[in-house]
Amino acid sequence: MSTVSTKHVNLYTAGCVTRRHGYMYLWTKPERFEQRLGYYPLAYYVKDPPVFLTGGLTAWGLCSQGITYQQYGNVTHAFTVVGMDNYPNAADVLEEWLNGWPSTLAPDNSNAIKMLTPGESKLFVVHGRGWINDWKPYRDNFIDVGRGLCLLPDNDPQHLPHLKGEDMCAALHWQHIIGKELERVKAKDRRAERHIGQHVYPAVMPINGVEPECSYAIIAWRPVDEIHVVDKGIDDLAIQEAIEWLTGAAGVPCQLPVFVTDN
């Protein structure tokens, strides 16, 4: 059986509000994002260019929202399709990671979660606006908001030259931001501030205020370090059942470290 530890996690209001009691979450240690590669701290984890999902979600074996597990070689990886209601922009997800909140809800309806392995398994993030179908006008009308002209590391031979090629640059994720919590900075400028949960980040609104046509793409990945079971002190059996299932009290134990957290 796997062992279970406890840890305190500072309460954070994310785009999907806060983590829910009795639910499991895939967690990446925030300190992984502290190393700066190139201009943008998360450059190592962002797919640049994004990986366009040719054939759509079905062709890749993914559901319309939530997590799917797939095995490549001897390693199991997780794919999460981001919910557009809470995260209408690809940049919303990346900015939350940058703010120290790399957490993803993982329903306990698949034994595949127990096959995720430390140091090997990855969580790939898919977003419905991860690829701009007509991205060249956004490249040609690029407005720098402090997230870099290109997310590839400075020493990558495709850094900047890739902006002149035939692939969309991941820096364009910040160039077509939508949502209710969006405040224009200047009356005649596309610059804006996007509020996502408790985080605010600099953004650019769509050209002419018209949302561009977009497609699903893999926008980033991150390591999966831990599984968190959230216990907010509510007296029920949800926590006990989740722990027993994860630790293999009746079946296969989880290979990732399991923590019971207060938030």
pLDDT (0 to 100) of residue 238: 82
CA separation for the pair 13, 96 (Å, rounded): 10
pTM of whole model > 0.85? yes
Decide: residue 183, CB within 10 A, 0-12 exposed, 13-18 middle, 19+ buried: exposed
- Cα gap 29→12, rounded to integer Å: 15
Total number of residues shown for the chain: 263
3-state secondary structure of 159: coil
Q: How far out from the chain centre does Cα 255 lie?
A: 22
> Tokens 């402090």 appear where?
146
- Overall domain count for the chain: 1
User: Which range marks the domain in which residue 148 is found?
Assistant: 4-261
Cβ atoms 75, 115 nearer than 8 A: no
What does the pLDDT read at residue 37?
Answer: 53
Supply the pLDDT for residue 39: 61
Picking from 193, 207, 11, the residue whose alpha carbon sits closest to that of residue 92 is 193
Q: For position 200, what pLDDT does the model report? A: 96
23 CB-near residues (< 8 Å, 6+ apart): 105, 229, 230
Residues of the chain falling short of pLDDT 70: 1-2, 35-39, 249-250
- The answer to whether 89 and 129 have CB atoms below 8 angstroms apart is yes
Q: What is the pLDDT of residues 122-149, one digit of tens each?
A: 999 999 999 999 999 999 999 999 888 8
